[in-house]
Amino acid sequence: MSTNVTSIFNSFQDYLNTEQELREEIRTIVKEIEQSAREILMVLQNIHNENVSEENTIVSEHCTKARCLFEDVRKGYAKLAAVVPENQYYRFHEHWRFVTQRLCFLASLTIYLEVKILVHKDTVAELLGVKSNREEGFHLDLEDFLMGLLQLSSELCRFAVNSVTSGDYDRPIEISRFVNELNAGFRLLNLKNDSLRKRFDALKYDVKKIEEVVYDLSIRGLKPAVPPAPVDSK
């Protein structure tokens, strides 16, 4: 093999080695973010164990603790932003895509529990410590954000069922209105992403299940006479 060919392939190997080292560094950071996401999820899962008289506990304890844990998330994304080369976000996006979707769900759930509104993408980006727009650098991808909102509907569906079990008959009505508006919003979108379309199909079942919970309350005479306040957007 000639010296010239050897030199060319050595340069290829150097490139591959550098690429592998960078991906390993990204994976290490993402694992830290995933651990923070698991801790936030564990905290917020406690909402399913509270009864009707402990509404303040959900916000004052669980949501507050979750917000504190998001500080570690912001540190993790700051590390990612520092190591991912400029204008190469989508080259490595698959490494943090799923944990970002999970964190979008957790952020939207936290906001919903606190103020009962649909969170804005800018608010989630701020909570995660990333930019909202692609032009600004390391950012929150729109499809990741939308996937997080779709995960939120499933969690609220479960919350509605557990609320009835704990004796809270107001919350399912509130959740039903919120999820119906979320469903209506997604129907305005022409979803090209296969994963988003499939997950949107699951939203339809969430809506149906929550409606069944509300119907069951109605026929049992347990449905509140005065509906909760309408959903807004933050």
Binding-site residue ranges for Mg(2+):
155
Residue pair 106/41 in contact (Cβ under 8 Å)? The answer is yes
3 state SS of 227: coil
Beta-bridged to residue 233, according to DSSP, are 118
Q: Which residues of 14-50 are buried (b: 16+ CB within 10 A; e: fewer)?
A: eeeeeeeebeeebeebbebbbebbeebbebbeebeeb
Residue 118 main-chain phi, psi, to 5 deg: -80, 125
Closest CA to 157 of 136, 180, 130: 180
Helices (H), 84-193: 89-92, 97-115, 121-128, 142-165, 171-187
Distance from the Cα of residue 32 to its chain's centroid? 17
3 state SS of 232: coil
CA 94 vs CA 73, 100, 139: distances in Å: 18, 10, 14
